Structure 1
Amino acid sequence: MVRHTQIKNIVDSILSLHCNHPIRVGVSGITASGKTTVANEIAQEIEHRGKNVIRTSIDHFHNCRKIRYRQGKDSAKGYYEDAHDYESFRDKLLIPLGPGGDRVYQTSSFDLARDEPVTPVPKLATSDMVLVVDGTFLFKEVLANQFDYKIFVDTSFDVARKRGAQRDERSFGSVEKAEAMFIKRYHAASERYLTEHSPKESANVVIMNNDLQNPAVIIR
């Protein structure tokens, strides 16, 4: 299958890096672009090669509800600016695994369902591990230089909205309500991300993901 071959080619590129610390791989893209699926496929292929993987998402580093929704539950500006705790994400995960880091890390800082901070027991990484983390706004300027390898999942807004609305139908009560939220909040914020930070241009790999079975891939 074309998709599996493309994933293998990307992993070849990742594992060709020579680092004295864990390789930090970020997978970004607009909301519902397919980031989580791609990140899982990458992680599984790396594990298949005999490497130990640290797999997490920036969604385990949310801000509390009071901060997340202080600009309104349907605010695109609020989603873009307030959804995630970048300081914890950077200081508890990315920096410890990077150059000069002590490799003592945690993969979460917040329980979204309970709306409360969590303090998991820190783990110690070995230098040959690979971190694979996904997130919508991963390549904002405040985070971009903390990744050794960046993958951008390039899916059109129309395709992503339809996929996301079907996925989130139960949460919002109907596909139509889910689509409306994507337009007003999630994808409006994603448009700002693309405009302000050009994540596609800075990525090592771009995956054109409209066709799930046959994605086109550019490895730079």
Structure 2
Amino acid sequence: MTGRERLLSDLADWISSRMVPQRPTLVAIDGVDAAGKSSFSNLLAPMLGRAGVAIVQVSVDGFHNPAAVRHSRATVEPALSYYEDSFDYEAFRAHVLNPIHRSGTTVISPRVFDHESDSPDIADPVVVSDNTIVLVDGVFLGRPELAESWDHWVYLHSDRNAARARGVERDMRLFGDNTLDRYLSRYEPGQALYLAAVDPISNADIVIDNTDPEAPEFFRFS
């Protein structure tokens, strides 16, 4: 077993031993842009599945605001615009969080908007039983209007330069030559606002150093 497999196995055991009775268990996989959140969630899901529980994965990326909202003040306040205007949290609560916090089996919509095409894209409903772990990956998941919803909050830390390099490589197809500038002027300053306001390294339940996604390490393990 590799070090990464051992970490994922230990985390899966920790989560599965702390499931919430009578409703699905919500686990946030939080981190800065390109910290490796989606990939980490994809690796964690089958580890959790070994415990015999159902796993549902959701990304907050499926709840972006339209571009007109996301960029309404991006020119004058790019960092604040990214932190405050990127996501439709009302829709996220209505379609995911609120249904899950009801007892018993429920139905969620894991996606309502495609930010790449800038158009509504409502996913097929997903039935979620009480014996289910719902993994939600995304940025800003510890912000005040979401924090109380999570049963477990996992934060993936990454060195800024490593995350930036991964993000620029990943997003070049979307933004072309402007990709690096977006990280320097919008994404990283917006993340700095979040880190200062929420301090996830101190407050998350689990903190993992994912600077090298091939060799993650526990920074803090409750």
TM-score by shorter chain over 0.5:
yes
Structure 1 match to 2:162: 159
Structure 1 match to 2:72: 70
1:138 aligns with 2:137: no
Structure 2 match to 1:4: 5
After superposition, the Cα gap between the structure-2 partners of 1:111 and 1:168, relative to the gap in structure 1 and judged at 3 Å, is: closer
Which amino acid is 2:192 matched to? E
What is the Cα deviation at residue 139 of structure 1?
0.8
Gaps of 5+ in 2: none
1:196 aligns with 2:163: no
Residues 104 and 130, structure 2, Cα contact 8 Å, conserved in 1: no
Residues 22 and 98, structure 1, Cα contact 8 Å, conserved in 2: yes
Residues 96 and 102, structure 1, Cα contact 8 Å, conserved in 2: no
Which amino acid is 1:53 matched to? I
Residues 23 and 105, structure 2, Cα contact 8 Å, conserved in 1: no
Which amino acid is 1:27 matched to? I
Counterpart Cα distance in 2 of 1:212 and 1:125: 29
After superposition, the Cα gap between the structure-2 partners of 1:216 and 1:52, relative to the gap in structure 1 and judged at 3 Å, is: same
What is the Cα deviation at residue 102 of structure 1?
6.3
Mean alpha-carbon deviation: is it higher for 55-64 or for 71-80? 71-80
Q: Deviations over 1:155-203 (max 9, x none)?
A: 02111111111222233324xx422211111111001000011122221
Which amino acid is 1:112 matched to? H
Which amino acid is 2:201 matched to? K
Counterpart Cα distance in 2 of 1:85 and 1:162: 27
Superposed, which structure 2 residues align to 1:117-128 within 5 Å? 117-128=120-131
After superposition, the Cα gap between the structure-2 partners of 1:99 and 1:198, relative to the gap in structure 1 and judged at 3 Å, is: farther
Q: Tell me the matched-pair count.
A: 218
After superposition, the Cα gap between the structure-2 partners of 1:16 and 1:94, relative to the gap in structure 1 and judged at 3 Å, is: same
Equivalent of 2:61 in 47, 59, 62 = 59
What is the Cα deviation at residue 37 of structure 1?
1.2
Which amino acid is 2:91 matched to? S
SS at match of 2:135: strand
Structure 1 match to 2:185: 184
Residues 95 and 101, structure 1, Cα contact 8 Å, conserved in 2: no
SS at match of 1:138: coil
Q: Deviations over 1:43-100 (max 9, x none)?
A: 1211243321111100001111111111136822211111100011112101211254
SS at match of 1:31: coil
Gaps of 5+ in 1: none
1:38 aligns with 2:40: yes
Structure 2 match to 1:88: 91
